[in-house]
Amino acid sequence: MNETSEDASAGLPSTSTSIRPQFGNRFLSADDNVFQHNAWDNIQWDEEQEQAALEGVRKNSSVKLPDAEVDRLATEADQNWDRFYGIHQNRFFKDRHWLFTEFPELAPFKMSPSNVPERVLPDGETVKNVETPADTNQPRTIFEIGCGVGNTVFPILNYSHEANLMVYASDFSHQAIDILRQNPEYDPQRCQAFVLDATAEHWDVPFAEGSIDIVVLIFVLSAIDPDRMQHIAKQIARYLKPGGLVLLRDYGRYDLAQLRFKPGKCVKDNFYVRGDGTLVYFFTQDDLRKLFVGAGLIEEQNIVDRRLQVNRGKMIKMYRVWVQVKFRKPLAH
């Protein structure tokens, strides 16, 4: 669904409830030249910057989109996304190289010499996973909501040699699913891609309730009206296995993309329309906690990253904010 170039960051260093050693090695200190690197991890904002962000959002939210325009956007949502993918096709997108580092749960299985299950990352690094069953031929199901043209799906399929892995991929856009299915790497024996409106009251999906190991949402939930997000969280919980996991990464509050909006583009608080008619919401950690805990899931990770990206040629500083969470469905009693 909502796949833009803004999701192509190198990774999310931890700033909250968990610590991940893969990143966090580029901290900006007072003595550093800010233009020494293209990006800095875990940037701390001072009070002046916080207030400037608050004021920026207050200003660009002061004029709301007229109700008639909001209704029109809702009616034309499918056309806007089809047009988006029709324009960009698959030339616009890159595989998400950070995917397995941030979400090693998605990486393929292998058996280490000590017979301890591990995950294999694309660069050869392995990550111990004590929850992995000894039998790596055991069926595993992954469901991505808002798969776009396959930037998450194809890395999973390409790196995995699991005999019984099935990746389900859905998107609101018919055009996106058509592009994904036409990819020469699309294998219907290992992947089933289909159109799904995740806001629909009932989901028409090719799998049973309680059958999915992992649900993935990458810069997707933000494209949905906040009033429908709780329904989606409950549907995800319905289709997850007991012990199944939700992996989500999306836009955080006061991200550069939010601060760039002009007055008149705000649909409702922290929810905006882009120039192409697509919509975007900017989350806090508490927003996501309420959604998924409200659906009966247990929080395992909930982090926010404030990253500084720089254009060294133009000497421009850009402050990005992302959120990343993992929630698990409780085991059946």
Hey, where are the domains in the chain? Answer: 66-108+139-252+268-305+322-329
165 strand-pairing partners: 140
pLDDT, one tens digit per residue, over 105-155 is: 987 665 444 444 555 555 555 555 544 444 556 789 999 999 988 989 998
Contact 219, 198 (CB under 8 A): no
Mean pLDDT on 218-242: 96
With the C-alpha atoms ordered 185, 187, 190, 194, is the resulting torsion angle positive or negative? Answer: positive
**What is the token pair recorded at 260?**
């760039």
Separation CA 185–CA 157 (nearest Å): 8
Both tokens of 42, joined, read 């875990």
> Quick check: helix, strand or coil at residue 169?
strand
Interval 228-237 mean pLDDT = 97
CATH homologous superfamily of 66-108+139-252+268-305+322-329 equals: Vaccinia Virus protein VP39 (3.40.50.150)
- For residue 13, the model assigns a pLDDT of 37
Percent above pLDDT 70 for the chain: 68
Residues in the chain: 333
CA 283/CA 101 separation, integer angstroms: 22
pLDDT exceeds cutoff 60 at 23:
no
